[in-house]
């Protein structure tokens, strides 16, 4: 391994680079935080031995994957059962008791490449979406740390596990649709939708009445009423 392109948010890149260089001090690492920086990296630096994407929603074009000197890997902050967008939200809505992060080869179709490994953790019954996303990011970091020696030193493909992706790949459209509620929604269902979806993006919480769509102004529930002295 001589050169590597790291696609991740700017604040995550420095510690990820430090881990890779621990196992290959001479490794040339170019960082990109979004699609524009990704294109600039390919235009200016040319060919890379490997690309690693870590917890990013930026889609790498198939032509860029084909130009790499070796395989590309993505660290998806969800287990294989939840490919696609906003996986933590749908996992909470489904009431999962286990969640995790997945390392997989990158191919043209997002979240569909062969799976290398998964880092699992248990999920509390009342967890919120933001906390679950944080824990999934921590699981992705542990998985990255575990695979870093091979990612930094070996240009060959990583050994594959025997897991397969789930049948449903969620989209941003699916996520927004879960914020549309019926006026007759039960309190329990509304609280679940809020915990899984609204807490991630309150602007998606809407209601349709008589052919019109209204955005909901969601506030914290009132505290217990004080008893008179």
Looking at the structure, tell me whether residues 28 and 73 fall in a common domain: yes
pLDDT in tens, 118-177: 999 999 989 999 999 999 999 999 999 999 999 998 878 898 888 999 999 999 999 999
Look up the domain containing 198 and give its range: 178-215
**How many domains in the chain?**
2
Please report whether residue 166 resides in a domain: no
208-222 per-residue burial string, b: 16 or more CB within 10 A, e: under 16: eeeeeeeebeeeeee
d(CA 17, CA 8) in angstroms, rounded, equals 11
What are the tens digits of pLDDT across the range 111-120?
Answer: 889 999 999 9
Q: Hey, what are 55's tokens? A: 């917890």
State the average pLDDT over residues 51-80: 91
One domain for residues 188 and 82? no
24 shares its domain with 65: yes
Instruction: Provide the pLDDT for residue 210.
Output: 76
Together in a domain, 46 and 130:
yes
**Same domain as 146, residue 38:** yes
pLDDT at residue 222 tops 90 = no
Q: Given CA atoms 11, 198, 87, 123 in this order, what sign does their dihedral have?
A: positive
Q: Is 78 part of a structural domain of the chain?
A: yes
Q: Which of 42-51, 61-70, 161-170 has the highest mean pLDDT?
A: 161-170
Could you tell me if 192 and 92 lie in one domain? no
């Amino acid at each position: 391994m001589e050169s590597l392109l790291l696609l991740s948010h700017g604040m995550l890149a420095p510690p990820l680079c430090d881990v890779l260089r621990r196992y290959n001090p001479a490794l040339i690492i170019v960082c990109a935080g979004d699609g524009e920086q990704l294109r600039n990296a390919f235009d200016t630096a040319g060919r890379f031995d490997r690309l690693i994407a870590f917890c990013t929603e930026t889609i790498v074009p198939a032509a860029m994957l084909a130009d790499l000197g070796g395989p590309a890997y993505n660290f998806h902050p969800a287990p294989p059962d939840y490919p696609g967008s906003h996986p933590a939200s749908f996992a909470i809505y489904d009431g999962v008791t286990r969640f995790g992060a997945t390392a997989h080869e990158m191919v043209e179709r997002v979240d569909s490449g062969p799976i290398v490994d998964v880092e699992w953790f248990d999920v509390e019954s009342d967890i919120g979406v933001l906390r679950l996303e944080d824990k999934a990011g921590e699981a992705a970091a542990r998985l990255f740390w575990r695979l870093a020696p091979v990612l930094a030193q070996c240009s060959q493909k990583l050994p594959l596990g025997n897991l397969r992706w789930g049948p449903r790949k969620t989209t941003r459209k699916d996520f927004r649709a879960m914020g549309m509620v019926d006026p007759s929604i039960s309190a329990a269902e509304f609280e679940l939708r809020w915990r899984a979806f609204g807490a991630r993006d309150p602007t998606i919480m809407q209601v349709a009445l008589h052919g019109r769509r209204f955005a909901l102004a969601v506030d914290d529930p009132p505290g217990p009423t004080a008893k008179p002295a």
